[in-house]
Amino acid sequence: MSASGGIFAVRFKPLRAKRAAARAKRASFADKSAQAKAQNSESVIKKTGCGRASAGEAARVKICGFLTDAKKSLIFNGFCCIMKQDEKAVLPHGGRGYMNNELKKTLRTIYDNTGIELFVYTAGGEPVFDLSRKRIAVDFDGIAQRDGNTRFKAVFKAEQYVFEMAGATGIEKNYAFMLADMIENSSNRAVNLPKGEYARRILLGECNASDIQKYRVKYSVPDLPCCCLALHTDGKISDVITLLSQYGENEADCAVTISGKDCAFIKFVESESEYQSSVDFASFLTRSLLEELGIRCRVGVGGTFRHFEEIGASYQQASAALRMSALFESKGEVHSYREFLLIKMLEDISKAKLSEYLSILLEGDARELLKDEEMVNTAEEFLENSLNASETSRNLYMHRNTLTYRLDKIERVMGLNLRKFSDAVTFRVITILNKLV
């Protein structure tokens, strides 16, 4: 074996050992999870009076006023019922009534998985979300079926609500038992999730302050400033997570799978760190992934926040940086949210207003010049090189006179001398507006 081959083997030996241990741990967890689901399934079946659907079985179930066409498995705590669906009821997004945000998310999850639309009322029968609905009678205990609808009561966040769904058969009654249990337990389920999934929900804003506090206690989260990195890779996400997990500076640092090829890294900033900044740490991760696994990735870096409760905001910033770096084809693998703050500010303005601003800035043949990719790329490179003509010429393998000709043409057509800082900023704003409109 060559010297380089020996180094390669030594480098990957501990990684292979960690992978083997991780596979064994996952297998053990899967066995325990399967046993727990089997036990839970029996209890739910007894409670609802429904049997478990056999493989390949197809049922035509009428729920919420629609019949099914394509098989769709519905699984809640081990309960399985095969449904069909050719039409979806629309869950309203508007409405002037107040509803707890967590309850909204729970109802959205129920709808996304089942197609069941639930209307919500206060304990006194007043509509909560859709104020166009009439007040209903609530003089019942548990479950009531009236006027072709099924109603049931459930407590969410220590407050009682009445829920209503279309249909008044035994099927809807069985669903009412199950949905009431789901709603009442939804706010507590995050606590029982694996650390990675728990952290993912926190980053995506699916956990309330109480859930985040429970996470802090459960995993001994330190009282340190923290930030989040959003990564998009071209390799196997499980390998990426395994490698990233080795580079935490303390136990609270956490690599999290988001979806597909996207993952995140929660980083706590210690006073004595070997990295100059979060961007420096992100650059180290990209190099490590390439050298160790041959995997390329792009990284968005969110802001550093004083409290862990704000880590979701840091992730949103990191995701935005990742998205905008792709949209504007920015060079390099690591991009901070601050780089695109101007773009984010402009994104928050209506497109009609942006179009108005762009029309003011573009006169004559300026629009046609922006369609010339070669001309625009030359100008962008000139800006990227801090208005240094010699550096730009070298990077583009272009004669200095050719660069001068193109810069002079931009000045002649657009009235902007890119050699001046103020005009260069204006040109940058124009190119951003041109892509956003």
Q: Could you please report the per-residue DSSP string of 93-108?
A: ---SS---HHHHHHHH
- Residue 180, classified by CB atoms within 10 Å of its CB into exposed (0-12), middle (13-18) or buried (19+), is middle
Pick the CATH number of 349-436 from 3.20.20.450, 3.10.400.10, 1.10.10.2840, 1.10.760.10: 1.10.10.2840
Entry field: residues in the chain: 437
pLDDT score recorded for residue 103: 81
Q: Could you please report the per-residue DSSP string of 56-81?
A: T------BTTB---EEEEEEETTEEE
Q: What is the pTM of this model?
A: 0.55
Pick the CATH number of 219-344 from 3.30.70.270, 3.40.50.300, 3.40.50.620, 3.40.50.720: 3.30.70.270
Give φ, ψ of 370 to 5 degrees: -65, -20
- Name the DSSP letter for residue 169: S
Select from 151, 61, 163, 77 the least CA-distant residue to 115: 61
pLDDT score recorded for residue 189: 61
For the chain, 437 residues long, the average pLDDT of each consecutive 10-residue run is 42 48 50 50 44 35 33 33 33 39 81 88 87 87 89 82 92 88 69 84 85 88 94 92 88 91 93 85 93 93 93 94 87 89 85 89 85 89 89 90 92 91 90 86
CB atoms within 10 A of CB 325: 22
Consecutive H or E run containing 397: none
Per the rule left: phi > 0, alpha: psi between -120 and 50, beta: everything else, 260 is left
Are 389 and 404 in contact by the 8 Å Cβ rule? The answer is yes
CB atoms within 10 A of CB 260: 9
CA 81 to chain centroid: 29
Are 164 and 150 in contact by the 8 Å Cβ rule? The answer is yes
Select from 183, 149, 173, 153 the least CA-distant residue to 65: 149
Q: How far is residue 75's CA from residue 33's CA, in Å, rounded to a whole number? A: 15
Are 320 and 228 in contact by the 8 Å Cβ rule? The answer is no
Are 320 and 338 in contact by the 8 Å Cβ rule? The answer is no
pLDDT score recorded for residue 365: 83
Q: Which residues pair with 122 in a beta bridge?
A: 161
Domain borders along the chain are 70-189, 219-344, 349-436
